[in-house]
Structure formats: structure tokens, C-alpha cells
């Protein structure tokens, strides 16, 4: 019996310690936001004596509002395109006996493996030649492309398990595949659409490398690139930097807490 | 009659093909324009020497850029750092993630959802924000890491936590583990939950319980999930960029470069586009090899 108790204490102790390791930096971020400069230097481990908001004003002065708006626009359009285009392609791959299907699926998997860093120079040259540097459209298009392979794989697994009887009935009634997809499949795919959309939203909201090379003007920067400006502007004013991070991070955390079920499901599906 | 029938079939088949093509083509167009053509462009460009400003001034150099890479000590440093990050990430993220998943699966009764949610949280924060948060923790003047070390009487590194490459690479690992271990935990937890209760009951009759049962029975059963977890971690370790970009910019004197940051440096700071392409091709080959391994292992699963 006592052996079980010791095992139990070790188990709870381990997850508790790990949770503290995870929560501590977030706590430091929020507390530093409210501390005075003096407190930040003299009492790194202390709690702020008052809850001032001057740090927030400094952080917002670098343009966080507009960075956030840009991130919102980029995420919204890219995620919409990714989910629509991937769903359509995955449906064809899972339902229609095309000779090229196997080849297309291999291409998709290859696309999943290729990281943006491996195609950085030609991609930059292409977007530059199209005169799309420093435009949200110019970053939405490649981000959409890089989001498609993973989402196709996610939808493909879902459609394979999807009962075929309804579609067969619809085919007998004379519906084309196009009609079946939009009228029958899409309305019944809520959970997988939610999983895909949430996963891609988080990925695109946080994407750094492509945005870094393509968006150099402040008017078009997305949040991850804009956050670097905090450090440039308020070099050692940690209160302002942490205030900016708090503004950027807390909304994402709230969205995550609301939708975490779908998010965890889409990631867990990767292992299957 | 017979002939007529065949015609109808043909018609509906071609109709299907038209619909299918309409549904499939957008995905192919996007991936071709923004992934495959640039990938080919990377390979072609790696045989030339050119810079960003003289885009039309391409000079054929054959395998010159690759020869340059083999003689470039910083390329080898970057590659070595990627491999250190791969191995350390597997131990820290998959290893600790497995332990956490096992505890959440059967080790504890209360608070599973709360612990899972907390530990997974950093995954949704952008790596730039994560790096900036940890920057204040590692800061020699105001950081809590120094404060904690001093309060228990330990000495702190003289060049700061990020100034000495032998230490900073580990600080990068701790930050990466902070962000990604929860992801591995969730992935492995999903695998564990697929193991049926009967297996554990049978194991108990045979006298295997607790850690023993986990090691000899559960782990082999989730072998495929573990392989996927290791592959995802390995792929992620080759994509590492933000932590290094924010923490050290690859310095001091290129000691903390990885392939991603070194490609960026060559392309956009030094404007050696051809050489950056050659480095990208090396990354491309590694990435495709890992992708192929992943495809093979997921087919087995």
C-alpha cells in the first residue's frame, strides 16, 4: 500500500513541477508588465507594488494594434483558403479512382516535408518579381500553399472513415461529385473543419520566417515580426516589452482555452 | 441498347472527372507555384553565383557552392548544432513527454484535464513571443534565473546565459522543450488511450504492474506513435529558427548558427544567393528523407 502512495506522490509531484516550469515564464511576463523599472531591477522575484498601465501605453505606441490587425487579415484569408482547397482535394483523393491519385498524394506528402527555409531564396525572388513584397496578399498566398499539405492529410484520414451510403444514394439521384461535396460532405464535416481551421490559425498567426523576409514595412508587419520592434524600440525597458507580449499572447491563450478540445484532437490525430 | 448504356456510363464518368479535376486543381496549383517550383529553383540556383542586387547577373559555378560548403567551418557548426538539437529534443521533448503522458493516462486520478491544458499551453504561443519571454528570464541583470541561482548561493556564468555558446545552446534547448513537450505529451497520450484496459488486466494477472507494465507492455504497443513523435521532433529540430534569431543571432562568432539561420544570413545579410541555395538544397534533402521515413512509418501504423 505504501509503495502505491509513494508512486502517487512522485506522479503528482512530477506533473506539478512541470506545470510550474510551464507557468512560471507566463507569470514573469504578466508581473513584469506591472512592475516599475526600479522593481524590475531590484526585485526580479518580487511582486509589483502597484498595477500601473504605463507599460501598456508604451507597448501600444510601437503599433501593436496594426500588427494585430494585419495578423488577423492574413490568418483569416489564408485559413479560409487552406481549409476550402484542402477539403476539396482530400475528398477527390479519398473517393475517386484517378490513376494519378497515388502520385498526387506523394506530392502532397513531399510538400508537407519541405520547410519554407529550404525554398527561401526563389520564393523571395518570385514574390519580389510579382511586386508583392510588403503586401498582405504576397504573404497570404505562400502561407496558404504551405498549409495545404498537412490539412489534406488530416481531411483525407477523416473522409476515409466517412460512411459512403449517403453519397451512393445521392449519386443515384443524379448528383455530381461537385454537388455531393458541397451539399452533403461539407455540412457533415464540422469537427474536422474546426480542427483544421484552429490548427492552421495558430500556425499562421505565429508564422515568422516568410513574414520576416516579405514584410519589411511597418504598415504590413504581422504580430510576430512586429514584436521584434518592441525590443528595438524599448531596448532595456522590460516592462514595455513584456506588456507588448502580454497583449499579443493573452488573446491567443483565451482562444486556445475555449477551443482546446478541437486543437488537441487535430494534433493527436497526427499519430494515427 | 447496350451501346446506349455504355455511352451514359461514359458521360457520368467524364462528368465525375470534370468535378474531380475542379476540386483537385486549386491545391495542386498552390503547391506547385509556391512549393515545388521554388524547390526546383533552389536546386537550379545552387549551381550559380548571384546576389540580390544583381538578379540578372547569374554566373555558372557548377558544384562550386557545394565545395564551398564542405570547406566552410560555420556550415559544419550549423549542421552540428542541428544534430545536437535533434538528439536533445528527442530526449527532452519525447522522453519527458512520454513520462508526462503515462502519468496523465494512468498515474493520477485528479486534475488530468487541468494538467494537460497547462502543459500544452506554450504550443499556441508564437516562438518569437516565447523567445522574448525567456530573454528576460536569462537576462544577467533582471533575469529570475540569475536571481534564483544567487539566492541559493550558486555562481552564474560570467558572460551571461546566452553569451557563452556552450551554455546558450542548452538555454535554447530548455526554451524549445518548454514550448514543445506538451505537444509530444498530447500526441503520445492519444496513443496510450488507444491501449485497451484488457491488456493491463492481463498484465496484472502475469504480475506486471506500474512502471514494469508500462516499460514491457505499453511502450511496445505504442511504438508507432513514438516513431511519429520522434520524426516530428526531428523535423522540428531542423526547422529551428526563431529561438536562435532572437537569442543569439547565431553568435558569438557563428557558434550558435543552425541551418535555418545560416541560410538566412547568407541570403539576406551577405547576399550570397547561390550559396544560400546550396545550403537550402542540403536542408531540402534532409527534410525529404525525414518525410519519406514518416510516410513509411505511417503506412505501417
Number of residues assigned to chain A: 272
Which residues, in sequence order, are bridge partners of residue B48? B60
Secondary element (H or E) of residue B48 = strand B48-49
CA distance B145 to A218: 34
B154 Rama class: left (phi>0) / alpha (psi -120 to 50) / beta:
beta
Grid cell 507599460 is found at A55
Q: Which residues of B touch A89 (CB under 8 A)?
A: 23-24, 26-28
Contact B155, B161 (CB under 8 A): no
- 3-state SS, residue A45: coil
- 3-state SS, residue B49: strand
| Alpha carbon distances (Å) from B156 to B124, B138, B144, B176, B276 | 31, 11, 12, 22, 37
Please report the pLDDT score of residue A226 as a whole number: 92
Q: Is a pLDDT exceeding 60 seen at residue B1?
A: no
User: What average pLDDT score do residues A87-110 get?
Assistant: 86
Grid cell 482547397 is found at A85
Question: What pLDDT, in 10s, does the model give residues A222-247?
Answer: 999 999 988 888 887 888 899 999 99
**For chain A, which domains are there?**
2-52 (no CATH), 62-271 (1.10.3720.10)
Question: What pLDDT, in 10s, does the model give residues B140-172?
Answer: 888 889 888 988 888 888 888 998 888 999 999
Does residue A142 sit at the B interface (CB-CB below 8 Å)?
yes
Cα B221 to its chain centre, rounded Å, is: 24
pLDDT band at B4 (very low <50, low <70, confident <90, very high): very low
Q: Is a pLDDT exceeding 90 seen at residue A178?
A: no
- 3-state SS, residue B60: strand
| CA-based nearest residue to A244, from B247, B128, B145 | B128
Q: Which residues of A touch B294 (CB under 8 A)?
A: 109, 113
Contact B87, B234 (CB under 8 A): no
- DSSP label at residue A145: H
CA distance B258 to B272: 17
Burial of residue B1, with CB atoms counted within 10 A of its CB: 0-12 exposed, 13-18 middle, 19 or more buried: exposed
Contact B274, B45 (CB under 8 A): yes
Which of B107, B111, B125 lies closest to A252 in CB terms?
B125
For testing the chain A interface, which of B9, B17, B21, B24 should be mutated: the one with the most A CBs within 10 Å? B24
Amino acid at each position: 500500500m505504501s509503495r502505491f502512495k509513494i508512486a502517487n506522490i512522485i506522479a503528482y509531484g512530477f506533473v506539478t513541477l512541470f506545470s510550474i516550469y510551464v507557468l512560471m515564464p507566463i507569470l514573469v511576463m504578466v508581473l513584469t508588465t506591472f512592475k516599475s523599472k526600479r522593481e524590475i531591477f531590484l526585485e526580479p522575484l518580487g511582486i509589483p507594488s502597484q498595477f500601473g498601465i504605463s507599460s501598456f501605453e508604451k507597448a501600444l505606441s510601437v503599433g501593436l494594434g496594426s500588427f494585430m490587425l494585419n495578423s488577423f487579415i492574413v490568418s483569416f484569408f489564408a485559413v479560409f483558403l487552406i481549409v476550402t482547397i484542402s477539403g476539396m482535394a482530400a475528398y477527390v483523393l479519398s473517393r475517386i479512382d484517378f490513376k494519378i491519385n497515388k502520385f498526387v498524394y506523394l506530392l502532397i506528402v513531399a510538400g508537407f516535408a519541405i520547410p519554407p527555409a529550404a525554398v527561401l531564396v526563389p520564393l523571395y525572388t518570385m514574390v519580389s518579381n510579382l511586386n508583392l513584397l510588403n503586401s498582405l496578399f504576397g504573404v497570404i498566398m505562400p502561407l496558404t500553399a504551405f498549409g495545404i499539405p498537412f490539412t489534406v492529410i488530416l481531411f483525407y484520414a477523416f473522409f476515409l472513415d466517412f460512411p459512403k451510403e449517403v453519397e451512393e444514394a445521392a449519386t443515384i439521384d443524379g448528383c455530381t461529385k461537385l454537388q455531393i461535396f458541397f451539399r452533403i460532405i461539407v455540412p457533415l464535416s464540422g469537427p474536422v473543419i474546426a480542427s483544421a481551421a484552429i490548427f492552421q490559425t495558430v500556425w499562421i498567426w505565429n508564422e515568422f520566417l516568410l513574414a520576416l523576409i516579405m514584410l519589411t514595412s511597418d504598415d504590413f508587419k504581422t504580430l510576430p515580426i512586429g514584436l521584434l520592434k518592441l525590443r528595438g524600440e524599448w531596448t532595456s525597458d522590460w516592462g514595455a516589452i513584456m506588456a507588448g507580449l502580454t497583449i499579443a499572447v493573452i488573446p491567443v491563450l483565451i482562444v486556445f482555452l475555449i477551443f482546446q478540445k478541437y486543437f488537441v484532437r487535430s494534433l493527436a490525430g497526427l499519430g494515427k | 441498347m447496350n451501346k446506349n448504356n455504355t455511352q451514359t456510363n461514359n458521360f457520368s464518368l467524364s462528368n465525375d472527372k470534370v468535378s474531380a479535376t475542379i476540386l483537385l486543381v486549386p491545391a495542386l496549383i498552390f503547391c506547385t507555384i509556391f512549393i515545388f517550383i521554388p524547390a526546383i529553383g533552389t536546386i537550379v540556383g545552387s549551381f550559380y553565383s548571384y546576389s540580390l542586387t544583381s538578379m540578372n547577373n547569374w554566373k555558372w559555378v557548377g558544384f562550386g557552392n557545394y565545395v564551398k560548403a564542405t570547406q566552410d567551418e560555420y556550415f559544419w557548426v550549423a549542421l552540428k548544432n542541428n544534430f545536437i538539437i535533434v538528439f536533445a529534443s528527442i530526449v527532452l521533448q519525447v522522453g519527458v513527454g512520454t513520462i508526462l503522458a503515462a502519468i496523465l493516462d494512468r498515474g493520477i486520478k485528479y486534475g488530468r484535464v487541468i494538467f494537460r491544458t497547462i502543459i500544452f499551453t506554450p504550443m499556441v504561443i508564437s516562438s518569437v513571443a516565447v523567445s522574448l519571454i525567456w530573454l528576460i528570464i536569462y537576462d544577467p541583470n533582471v533575469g529570475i534565473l540569475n536571481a534564483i541561482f544567487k539566492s541559493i548561493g550558486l555562481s552564474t556564468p560570467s558572460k551571461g546565459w546566452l553569451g557563452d555558446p556552450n551554455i546558450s545552446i542548452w538555454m535554447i534547448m530548455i526554451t524549445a522543450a518548454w514550448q514543445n513537450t506538451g505537444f509530444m505529451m498530447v500526441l503520445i497520450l492519444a496513443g496510450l488511450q488507444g491501449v485497451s484496459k484488457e491488456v493491463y488486466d492481463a498484465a496484472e494477472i502475469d504480475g506486471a504492474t506500474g512502471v514494469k507494465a508500462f516499460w514491457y507492455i505499453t511502450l511496445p504497443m505504442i511504438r508507432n506513435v513514438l516513431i511519429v513523435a520522434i520524426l516530428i521532433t526531428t523535423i522540428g529540430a531542423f526547422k529551428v529558427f526563431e529561438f536562435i534569431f532572437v537569442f543569439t543571432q547565431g553568435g558569438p562568432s557563428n557558434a550558435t548558427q543552425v541551418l535555418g539561420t545560416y541560410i538566412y544570413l547568407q541570403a539576406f545579410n551577405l547576399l550570397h544567393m547561390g550559396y544560400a541555395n546550396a545550403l537550402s538544397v542540403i536542408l531540402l534533402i534532409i527534410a525529404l528523407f525525414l518525410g519519406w521515413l514518416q510516410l513509411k512509418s505511417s503506412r505501417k501504423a
